[in-house]
Structure 1
Amino acid sequence: MDIFDDIDDLAIEEEAVMNEYINPVERKVRVVKTRPDHYSMWDGREFHRRFRLMKESVQYLLYLIEDKIKHKTLRNQCIPPMLQLLITLRFYATGSFYITVGDFGGIHSSTICGIIKKVTDAIASLRPIFIKLPRSEEEIRRTQEDFYKIASFPRVISAIDCTHIRIQSPGGNTAEVFRNRKGFFSFNVQAMCSADLLFQDVVARWPGSTHDSMIFSNSSAKFHCQNHAFGNGIILGDSGYEQTNSLLTPFPNPETPAQSLYNESQIRTRNVIERCFGVWKRRFPVLSIGLRCKLPLAQDVIVACAILHNLARTKNEEEPPEDPEVNIPPEPIFPSSAANPIGEERHQTRNIMLTYFQALIL
């Protein structure tokens, strides 16, 4: 049975909305639960295991978003910003139902829904600060040097790939476009990353049935490439992308030593995006378990988790310890589906690279 066959989170979201219109006479008796102080009660390791970030990073994150999530007054047992943030991080760390997360924070499930939406939106608003492609000459040069150290592939500014994030069926007439090749509903999320596993760009709006090359063709990254915003920088992708002068893919059947060396260097250099996805999903298991919420919130959670991943990387945090309470399903494998090839005359950049690798052999 699919894990999304018995879902109550959407019902909780709808209940939270409907409660605003219920006659006061019909309201239930209000019960204020005990709210634990999770920030103080756990040591550094246990805190890291439960919330996937170190205490120092959480404090810094709270500093950035506190004004957006705090209540205007302290009336009616309002929930402090730190508890709101920790509840949201716990949701990202477990993918649990709202009721379970609410019990963890001593808050009713209908309130949890609003907290997760508000905090996720606040974190996602930090995207321009934490997720950005290199644009200045100094940033481009430094990024190219970092990639060159991996396998001596020159001029690389980014590695690109797509990964599927499971969601529940959105319903309606267009639901089937979200069903991917493996048969489950998902977003096909395109990401670009640097040599040190930092997200440079994230596109989280395309349904699971969309081909990788289609996503890139309609992305701002391709627009910037066409306008030479990255100087002589190039992007590395797998065979699921169309070969262009700014995005290089491997040879499907290498025939010469230079082509084989090119492929080896290209694949080793491009591997950073696969590693980035692995670290990202291990840090925030909700991305592997699946998102049991409406599509707009699911998209914001994906972006928010990418931002938190970059925050953890810039703070030099290690991967958090495994949480025995969280069962992460195995990651489905999606073999690359080759894009339509184009004429060899447009492969000018790859031909230049072949000349470079031929010189290395000689």
Structure 2
Amino acid sequence: MDIFDNIDDLAIEEETIINEYINPPERKERIIRPRPDHFRIWDSKEFHRRFRLRKESVQYLLSLIENKIKHQTERNQCISPMLHLLIALRFYATGSFYITVGDFGGIHSSTMCRIIKKVTEAIASLRTIFINLPRSDEDIRSTQLEFYKIARFPRVVSAIDGTHIRIQSPGGNTAEEFRNRKGFFSFNVQAMCSADLMFQDIVARWPGSTHDCMIFANSHVKYHFENGEFGNGIILGDSGYELTNYLLTPFQNPDTPTKTLYNESQIRTRNVIERCFGVWKRRFPVLSIGLRCRLPLAQDVIVACAVLHNLARSKNEEEPPVDPELHIPPQPIFPPAIADFTGDERCHTRNLILINYFHALPTE
């Protein structure tokens, strides 16, 4: 009896398969969800608050990278280049999970990952256009004049410092190299800026445990300054950098009015890099909240945000209004890293400026 029951079950199953092959079930109707047109539905103020750039700047940026991010076909309701760009900008503005930003644009989270990667690489590729140190004699003199207007410090072409950008643990055997002295994982990003808070150079490849001086010692900027490519131009840095004839740091223990005056002017002039970091991170809160993506993409995001910052500054855009929906954690204050550098007397440039310039200024 059991044998006959099994035969009947096999016959029924075979008949079901044949019926489904002859009369296939109707396919579910494909539902195409309309994607919001964020460029048109928001007014200028709300657009600026959500995407951190003005509409005019976004259109200009799109004209530069459109060929790199658009699909090669218009089939299957492909995502427009403008929506590609706005999705990436929204990610920089919030630092949210991909699924959250995807819901904002009506896009699946798996597609979001590819969009952010493609757009970020395209924006970062504009680095050579937007981030540059002054090279011509005219640009160097103009930059030195703008720095001189701040606190009357002569010959300055740039201010340099490092800032930590939080990341998630990269894992692997080298993960602890990214843990900085404050205990969280980060990139130690070295940047140089002008008097009008424009990035002139950015290095975003060193783990958080790396000392500022080590980053500069292995940078191409050091090579160019040592070759005298900036004339008599100098850089201002804090005490974490080694004192050289082209990178001037403050006196650790000023014991004369002239040295005190030098320190005050040096610190006030160098402060532009701190202000630049503050404006940069307020414009793109993802840099304050932390990056939850893999290391190559995290580095590209940092560089892309620097490019966008310079774009906004070049267009004279004001800082975006505060988004009440964003919770930006307070940034830890890193005191200057005091390195055991000596050689105050052997630095000819600092002594020359101290004697020939600050000594002649009134100290009151």
TM-score, structure 2 as length reference: 0.90
1:1-362 → structure 2 map (5 Å cutoff): 32-355=32-355, 356-361=357-362
Task: Number of aligned residue pairs: give it.
Answer: 335
Distance 1:161 1:51 in 2: 27
Q: Given that residues 130 and 310 in structure 1 are in contact (C-alpha distance below 8 angstroms), is that contact kept between their aligned partners in structure 2?
A: yes
Distance 1:114 1:31 in 2: 22
Distance 1:314 1:117 in 2: 25
Distance 2:201 2:220 in 1: 9
Q: Given that residues 243 and 343 in structure 2 are in contact (C-alpha distance below 8 angstroms), is that contact kept between their aligned partners in structure 1?
A: no
Please name the residue that 1:6 is paired with.
none
Q: CA deviation at 1:334?
A: 1.0
Distance 1:283 1:35 in 2: 26
Structure 2 segments unaligned to the other structure (5+ residues): 1-27
Distance 2:32 2:159 in 1: 49
Q: Given that residues 245 and 349 in structure 2 are in contact (C-alpha distance below 8 angstroms), is that contact kept between their aligned partners in structure 1?
A: yes
Q: CA deviation at 1:346?
A: 2.6
1:208 maps to amino acid: G
Q: Any runs of at least 4 consecutive aligned residues in structure 1 with deviations exceeding 3 A, and if so which?
A: 28-32
User: What is the SS of the residue equivalent to 1:165?
Assistant: strand
Q: Given that residues 187 and 208 in structure 1 are in contact (C-alpha distance below 8 angstroms), is that contact kept between their aligned partners in structure 2?
A: yes
1:171 maps to amino acid: G
Distance 1:30 1:303 in 2: 40
Q: Given that residues 69 and 118 in structure 2 are in contact (C-alpha distance below 8 angstroms), is that contact kept between their aligned partners in structure 1?
A: yes
Please name the residue that 1:23 is paired with.
none
Distance 1:109 1:31 in 2: 18
What RMSD over aligned residues (CA atoms) do the two structures have, in Å? 1.2
Q: CA deviation at 1:34?
A: 2.3
1:357 maps to amino acid: F
Q: Given that residues 259 and 354 in structure 1 are in contact (C-alpha distance below 8 angstroms), is that contact kept between their aligned partners in structure 2?
A: yes
Q: Given that residues 179 and 185 in structure 1 are in contact (C-alpha distance below 8 angstroms), is that contact kept between their aligned partners in structure 2?
A: yes
Q: CA deviation at 1:173?
A: 0.3
Q: Given that residues 153 and 266 in structure 1 are in contact (C-alpha distance below 8 angstroms), is that contact kept between their aligned partners in structure 2?
A: yes
Q: CA deviation at 1:342?
A: 3.1
Distance 2:186 2:154 in 1: 35
User: What is the SS of the residue equivalent to 1:162?
Assistant: strand
Please name the residue that 1:24 is paired with.
none
Q: Given that residues 246 and 349 in structure 2 are in contact (C-alpha distance below 8 angstroms), is that contact kept between their aligned partners in structure 1?
A: yes
Distance 2:346 2:52 in 1: 45
Structure 1 segments unaligned to the other structure (5+ residues): 1-27
Distance 1:298 1:66 in 2: 22
2:340 maps to amino acid: N
Distance 1:33 1:96 in 2: 22
Distance 1:122 1:91 in 2: 15
1:206 maps to amino acid: W
Distance 1:193 1:217 in 2: 18
Distance 1:341 1:67 in 2: 49
User: What is the SS of the residue equivalent to 2:361?
Assistant: helix
Percent of aligned positions with the same letter in both sequences?
79
1:48-101 CA deviation, whole Å, 9 max, x = no partner? 000000000000000000010011110111100000000000000000000000
2:332 maps to amino acid: P
Q: Given that residues 161 and 192 in structure 1 are in contact (C-alpha distance below 8 angstroms), is that contact kept between their aligned partners in structure 2?
A: yes
Please name the residue that 1:4 is paired with.
none
1:186 maps to amino acid: S
User: What is the SS of the residue equivalent to 1:344?
Assistant: coil
Distance 1:33 1:273 in 2: 45
User: What is the SS of the residue equivalent to 1:361?
Assistant: coil
User: What is the SS of the residue equivalent to 1:346?
Assistant: coil
Q: CA deviation at 1:344?
A: 3.3
Q: CA deviation at 1:360?
A: 1.0
Q: CA deviation at 1:277?
A: 0.2
Q: Given that residues 243 and 344 in structure 2 are in contact (C-alpha distance below 8 angstroms), is that contact kept between their aligned partners in structure 1?
A: no
2:358 maps to amino acid: F
1:143-164 CA deviation, whole Å, 9 max, x = no partner? 0000000000000000000000
Distance 2:291 2:112 in 1: 15
TM-score, structure 1 as length reference: 0.91
Q: Given that residues 143 and 156 in structure 1 are in contact (C-alpha distance below 8 angstroms), is that contact kept between their aligned partners in structure 2?
A: yes
Question: CA 1:169–1:31 in 2, change beyond 3 Å: closer, same or farther?
Answer: farther
2:360 maps to amino acid: A
Distance 1:61 1:30 in 2: 34
Larger radius of gyration: 2
Distance 1:304 1:264 in 2: 34
Distance 1:29 1:235 in 2: 65
Q: CA deviation at 1:31?
A: 5.3
Distance 1:33 1:271 in 2: 50
Q: Given that residues 167 and 290 in structure 2 are in contact (C-alpha distance below 8 angstroms), is that contact kept between their aligned partners in structure 1?
A: yes
Q: CA deviation at 1:32?
A: 3.5
Q: CA deviation at 1:33?
A: 2.8
